[in-house]
Structure 1
Amino acid sequence: MKRYCLALDLKDDPRLIAVYEERHKAVWPEIIKSIKDAGIESMEIYRITNRLFMIMDVNDDFSFEKKAAADEVNSKVQEWEKLMWQYQQALPNANPGEKWMLMEQIFKL
């Protein structure tokens, strides 16, 4: 099992943030399936102000490249991502088109 942590910002609008959180109370079943099919065993998202923090525990079959390739041909995932982008914004140092950014672990106890 391997763990990845990622960050992304939401648009700094309390109304949009509330809708984003509400949508995550009922994530579409096709999205849950695509996450599990990719080898993601556990996923959690936390928020402080408009900053999101995601923790993913993945199995040995997981790779970001395989997940991206599967998502690219999955119309439901594409629909979900387009919908979520209405609420999200890239981190200031993100490359064009980059959303969730991988964080570097700097301490572990």
Structure 2
Amino acid sequence: MNRYCFCLQVRPDRLDEYVERHRNVWPEMQAALRDSGWHNYSLFLRDDGLLIGYVEADDLEAAQKAMAATEVNTRWQAEMTEFFTGIEGRPPDESFLLLPEIFHLTPSTED
């Protein structure tokens, strides 16, 4: 399983609403993510709006394509687009900047 980290910028004036929306992610959206190959997906938000995402997938590009083909993702992305800066009208899930992994602590052989 490959690990991916990405970042986006949430509009600082929309942080509270963005957080609230993610407290209540639609069950069908969560199911679509799982069914499309997204695993261990987490979002972290700094108070200035820097959003860091972490996800594991066998193939992120394939997982993104599978999500793009779902109706629920189309609805979710349409609602989420207004929360971000610097995405030039593209959906957030097509706009994030992947960050290269430079270190990973592997389990010890003694564990």
- TM-score over 0.5 for the pair: yes
TM-score, length-normalised on structure 2?
Answer: 0.78
Q: Deviations over 1:6-42 (max 9, x none)?
A: 00000121xx110000000010112111211121221
Runs of 4 or more off by more than 6 Å in structure 1?
A: none
Following superposition, the deviation at residue 90 of structure 1 comes to 2.7
Select the structure of larger CA radius of gyration.
2
Give the count of matched residue pairs. 101
Alpha-carbon distance between aligned partners in 2 of 1:28 and 1:35, rounded to the nearest angstrom = 11
Q: Partner of 1:12 in structure 2?
A: 12
Would you say the 8 A contact 2:33–2:67 is kept in 1?
no
Counterpart code for 2:32: S
Matches of residues 42-81 of structure 1 in structure 2 within 5 Å? 42-48=40-46, 49-58=48-57, 60=58, 62-64=59-61, 66-81=62-77
The CA RMSD measured in Å over matched residues stands at 2.0
Residue 39 (structure 2) pairs with residue 33 (structure 1): no
Question: Which residue of structure 1 aligns with residue 81 of structure 2?
Answer: 85
Provide closer, same or farther for how the CA distance between residues 41 and 68 of structure 1 changes in structure 2, counting only shifts above 3 A: closer
| 1:107 is the counterpart of 2:103 | yes
8 Å Cα contact 1:30-1:77 kept in structure 2:
no
How far apart are 1:52 and its partner, in Å?
0.2
1:27-85 alpha-carbon deviations (Å, 9 max, x no partner): 01121112111212211100112100001122x3x331x23333333221111001011
Higher share of residues assigned helix: 2
TM-score, normalised to structure 1, is: 0.79
% identical equivalent positions: 26
- SS, match of residue 81 in structure 1: helix
- Distance in 1 (CA, whole Å) between partners of 2:38 and 2:16 is 26
Listed as ranges, the gaps of 5+ residues in structure 2 are 106-111
